[in-house]
Amino acid sequence: MFKSLNKDTKALLLSRVSSMVGSTALPIALTFAVLDRHGSALDVGVVVAASDLPFVLLLLVGGVVADRHRRRLIALMSDGIRSLISLSITLVIALHMDSVLILTLLSVLWGSARAFFVPTIAGMVPEVTPAEQLHRANSLVGASTSLGNLVGPALAGLIVATMGPAEGALMACAAYITSSFFLARVSQSRKDIDEAVTRDKKRVSFLREIKEGYIAIRSKSWAFWTIVIFGVAHLTTFGPLFVVGPVIAARDLGGAASWGYIVAAEGVGALIGSLLAMRRPPRHPLFRADTLMLLGVPSFFLLALHVDLIYILLSVAVSGVTLGYFGSVWETLLQRSYPLEQISKVSSYDWMGSTALLPLGEAFGGAAAGVFGESQVLIFGGVALLTLFLILVALPSTRRVRYEQGGVIRSANN
């Protein structure tokens, strides 16, 4: 399975695992650095949202830059900057200079660097992977991401609980350095893009390329509406979860380590879901993936009710399976539906559209928890998520996406 891939794809997968370890560990370190200072849920929301806001705002810029220049270099620079930021967070926590303001500023810088990494990596997968291996590669990319989501939170939760948030941030720094090592082993060539196309792109203005990315997304209704619905879900459900979830875990489920285990359970499930996606895709892949995601909704209600941790972990793992399966299917659909020179821009719109409302969701979650309580916020989020997924399954364009002879075939109106 892994051995059948070329060396560039293997190195990219190993880099992805390491990067995800850092990106999932650092928010946990930041969250409990705030809580250790007796910060409120609102304080946690401010610090966490501070990384997401610049991430969303700079995604389109990152996508255009990645489509214009050597993606490997951009990814290396992003990893290097994030390792320095993680080290800075380690130092300010260790020196007791970790005020909410300072952590917020460092979180802004971290989110800005991440905005260039995400669309760049999305473009590197089809760039270094032969077309016949793309479906398998995307499943393994999803699996590697899930593995990072598994290892990062579990280690971070354990380290924060036993040693402290500073050591958790230091672990993130080491993970980014490791990611850079593997990225450096990826070939620099962009063999699948004609040099004339690249030179022509450099003469086109940034704004025009940003507009081209929007037109590309809007031209396919299944892609557009999926992104919109996930955007709303980040406002109503996922954003609040990232804020009130750690608070519930720390107060009612045994402390920092329990939240790390919950996030890790999602990673285990997503790893399984990504591997399941390696099988021959169904005729209607998007409809199948959207329908399966309904199975993940109960986890929000179980967490809100503070049931035994084992039941929460099992339900979150099921949610992870559905999200991991969806992610692998989704990436393959996008990469087979758009030309390589547009992939990073399309990915940036995908990420921006899906997560643009995340900072508001995190701020909303923190504020609403102070008024209504954490459990009520999660119950509202679960109801909203169920409604949104039912709408997504009911969309005609969802059913029209189908595989035929190894390619994605859509109806005339997409």
Which residues lie closer than 8 Å to 395 by C-beta, 6 or more apart? 221, 222, 225
Instruction: Supply the DSSP string of 6-73, one letter for each residue.
Output: -HHHHHHHHHHHHHHHHHHHHHHHHHHHHHHTT--HHHHHHHHHHHHHHHHHHHHHHHHHHHHS-HHH
Reading the block at residue 298, the tokens are 């109960």
CA distance 218 to 211: 10
Token readout for 42 is 């609102």
Please name the residue that has the structure tokens 């719109």. Answer: 349
- Domain spans, the chain: 7-409
Q: Which pLDDT belongs to residue 192?
A: 44
Could you tell me what percent of the chain has a pLDDT over 90? 25
Q: What CATH superfamily classification does 7-409 receive?
A: MFS general substrate transporter like domains (1.20.1250.20)
Buried b (16+ CB within 10 A) or exposed e, 335-355: bbbbebbbbbbbbbbbbbbbb
**What is d(CA 238, CA 271) in angstroms, rounded to the nearest whole number?**
19
Tokens of 343: 């992939």
Question: Across residues 342-347, what is the average pLDDT?
Answer: 82
What pTM did the predictor assign? 0.77
Per-chain mean pLDDT for the chain: 83
100-120 mean pLDDT: 90
8-state DSSP, 184 = T
Residue 103's identity, in one-letter code, is L
Q: Residue 178 contacts by C-beta under 8 Å, 6 or more apart in sequence?
A: 18
Q: Are 31 and 157 in contact (CB under 8 A)?
A: no
Mean pLDDT of 361-366: 84
Residue 403 φ then ψ, to 5°: -90, 140
pLDDT at 55 over 90: no
pLDDT value for 87: 94
| pLDDT higher at 145 or 321 | 321
Would you list the DSSP string of 343-361?
A: HHHHHHHHHHHHHTTHHHH
Query: Which residue from 66, 126, 94, 79 is spatially nearest to 333, judged by alpha carbons?
Result: 126
CA distance to 219, 275, 291, 300, per residue, from 76 (Å): 32, 27, 37, 37
Query: Per-residue pLDDT averaged across 292-297, rounded?
Result: 93
Q: How confident is the model at residue 196 (pLDDT cuts 50, 70, 90)?
A: very low
Indicate the pLDDT class of residue 99, thresholds 50, 70 and 90.
confident
Overall average pLDDT of the 345-360 stretch? 82
User: What single-letter amino acid sits at 167?
Assistant: E
- pLDDT tens for 150-173 read 788 778 888 988 888 888 999 999
Query: Rounded distance, CA 137 to CA 188, Å?
Result: 19
Dist CA 76 CA 337 (whole Å): 27
